[in-house]
């Protein structure tokens, strides 16, 4: 469990870095990050791949071997008012085991005292062919919203209901932690000049078009990540907020009546174990690259290499994850219309997940 807690924090840090970058050269990138987060409208294109390098013995299994490569992509457009509302319409594609699955996703989210959302997920043909036709009927989309999910949660006798207060606290704490991480990373990179590298102006391809952009790169390895973690968690106020948020989330991850089994998230314990943290970053490390033009991040690329060691078998499984994201048509006259439920042939999520199913868990 100690390893899991540390990995949770590491994942959060990498995620925020991926959103935010690092800031002289640090200031230039951070200013672009802040400006990009406040974009009102944009189009986007995302391409990604996950590759698993299995130990030789497992490679002999043809079924397992087909699952070692996953490709995914997304294209779409979005409009937003930061921290208030966001609308997205995107087309998704995923390929695995020689099968490609495509879907359209439309999402409308509003923030505030109460987090509200609705989403339409196009039902892929492959799903319709899995014996679900009777339940789906002629529906083209699966419909999910915050009210239907509350109904499902209420019907699940083993589930704890997320209170409005806790939801609001998670939202506020996560935003505070993200902003604090960005601020800390900017200060950290100024103290450790090698943490971020200014690659200068380069030709960058964005949505099939060549752009001249300033490119910045962050390279993480096992050593500098541990140093970063120690310094980040050394602040008591910062560590306490992180601990509070994870413990609220963890409270809802166990069934009713299991409160005694909750393994509390303890930052002090994590700090003591940072040096003992396994060296899970592979030899190629973790690279975060950001391309900036006209004050906006127009392209980002994340390349993550992880080694999962099984000491009992003396085996190492390598996992590489690469994703690139292009932003274009920034602040153009883009409209994202999310339809009303009554205007779409859809099936509600709570028509598919019945109380009887929940009781069988």
**What pLDDT score does 53 carry?**
83
Q: Residue 247, Cβ neighbours under 10 Å: how many? A: 14
Dihedral, CA of residue 94, residue 100, residue 103 and residue 105, to nearest 10: 0
Is the pLDDT at 134 greater than 80? The verdict is no
Structure tokens given for 74: 């997304």
Please tell me the distance from the alpha carbon of residue 284 to that of residue 220, in angstroms, as a whole number. Answer: 9
**What pLDDT score does 294 carry?**
95
Dihedral, CA of residue 175, residue 177, residue 179 and residue 185, to nearest 10: -150
Q: Are 41 and 332 contacting, i.e. CB atoms less than 8 angstroms apart?
A: yes
Is the pLDDT at 350 greater than 90? The verdict is no
The arithmetic mean of pLDDT across residues 45-62, rounded, is 81
- Where along the chain do its domains lie? 2-355
Is the pLDDT at 234 greater than 80? The verdict is yes
The arithmetic mean of pLDDT across residues 34-47, rounded, is 93
Percent of the chain beyond pLDDT 70? 78
**What pLDDT score does 2 carry?**
47
**What pLDDT score does 1 carry?**
46
Is the pLDDT at 302 greater than 90? The verdict is yes
**What pLDDT score does 104 carry?**
97
The angle that helices 222-233 and 2-20 make with each other, rounded to 10 degrees, is 90
Q: What is the pLDDT of residues 236-245, one digit of tens each?
A: 888 888 888 7
Structure tokens given for 127: 């799903």
Residue 96: is it exposed, middle or buried by C-beta count within 10 angstroms (0-12/13-18/19+)?
Answer: middle
Cβ within 8 Å of residue 7, ≥6 positions away: 280
Is the pLDDT at 14 greater than 60? The verdict is no
Half-sphere exposure of 309 (CA within 13 A, CB side): 9
Please tell me the distance from the alpha carbon of residue 301 to that of residue 224, in angstroms, as a whole number. Answer: 20
**Which range, of 83-87, 89-93, 197-201, averages the lowest pLDDT?**
83-87
The arithmetic mean of pLDDT across residues 137-163, rounded, is 76
**What pLDDT score does 284 carry?**
87
Is the pLDDT at 170 greater than 60? The verdict is yes
* Residue 210 binned pLDDT confidence (cut-offs 50, 70, 90): very high
Its pTM stands at: 0.81
The arithmetic mean of pLDDT across residues 144-170, rounded, is 70
Q: Are 44 and 37 contacting, i.e. CB atoms less than 8 angstroms apart?
A: no
**What pLDDT score does 90 carry?**
97
The arithmetic mean of pLDDT across residues 266-287, rounded, is 84
The arithmetic mean of pLDDT across residues 30-43, rounded, is 90
**Which range, of 72-86, 114-128, 173-187, 199-213, averages the lowest pLDDT?**
173-187
**Which range, of 15-24, 134-143, 157-166, averages the lowest pLDDT?**
15-24
Is the pLDDT at 41 greater than 90? The verdict is yes
**What pLDDT score does 44 carry?**
97
* Residue 322 binned pLDDT confidence (cut-offs 50, 70, 90): very high
């Amino acid at each position: 469990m100690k390893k899991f807690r540390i990995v949770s924090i590491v994942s959060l840090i990498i995620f925020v870095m991926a959103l935010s970058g690092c800031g002289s050269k640090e200031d230039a990138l951070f200013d672009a990050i802040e400006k990009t987060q406040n974009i009102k409208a944009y189009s986007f294109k995302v391409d990604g791949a996950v590759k698993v390098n299995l130990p030789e013995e497992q490679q002999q299994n043809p079924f397992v071997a087909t699952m070692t490569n996953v490709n995914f992509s997304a294209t779409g457009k979005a409009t937003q008012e930061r921290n208030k509302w966001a609308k997205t319409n995107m087309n998704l594609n995923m390929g695995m085991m020689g099968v490609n699955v495509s879907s359209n996703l439309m999402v409308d989210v509003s923030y505030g005292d109460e987090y509200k959302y609705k989403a339409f997920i196009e039902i892929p043909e492959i799903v319709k062919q899995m014996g679900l036709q009777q339940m789906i009927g002629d529906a083209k989309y699966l419909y999910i919203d915050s009210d239907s999910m509350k109904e499902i949660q209420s019907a699940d006798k083993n589930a704890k209901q997320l209170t409005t207060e806790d939801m609001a606290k998670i939202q506020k704490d996560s935003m505070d932690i993200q902003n604090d991480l960005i601020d800390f990373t900017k200060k950290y990179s100024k103290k450790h000049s090698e943490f971020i590298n200014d690659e200068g102006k380069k030709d960058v391809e964005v949505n099939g078009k060549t752009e001249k952009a300033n490119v910045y790169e962050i390279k993480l390895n096992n050593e500098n990540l541990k140093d970063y973690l120690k310094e980040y968690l050394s602040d008591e106020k910062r560590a306490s907020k992180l601990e509070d948020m994870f413990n609220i989330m963890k409270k809802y991850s166990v069934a009713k009546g299991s409160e005694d089994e909750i393994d509390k998230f303890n930052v002090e314990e994590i700090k003591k174990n940072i040096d003992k943290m396994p060296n899970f970053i592979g030899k190629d490390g973790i690279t975060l690259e950001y391309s900036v033009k006209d004050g906006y991040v127009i392209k980002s690329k994340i390349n993550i290499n992880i080694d999962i060691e099984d000491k009992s078998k003396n085996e190492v499984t390598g996992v590489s994850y690469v994703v690139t994201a292009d932003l274009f048509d920034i602040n153009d006259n883009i409209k994202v219309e999310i339809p009303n439920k009554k205007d779409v042939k859809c099936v509600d999520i709570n028509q598919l997940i019945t109380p009887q199913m929940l009781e069988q868990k």
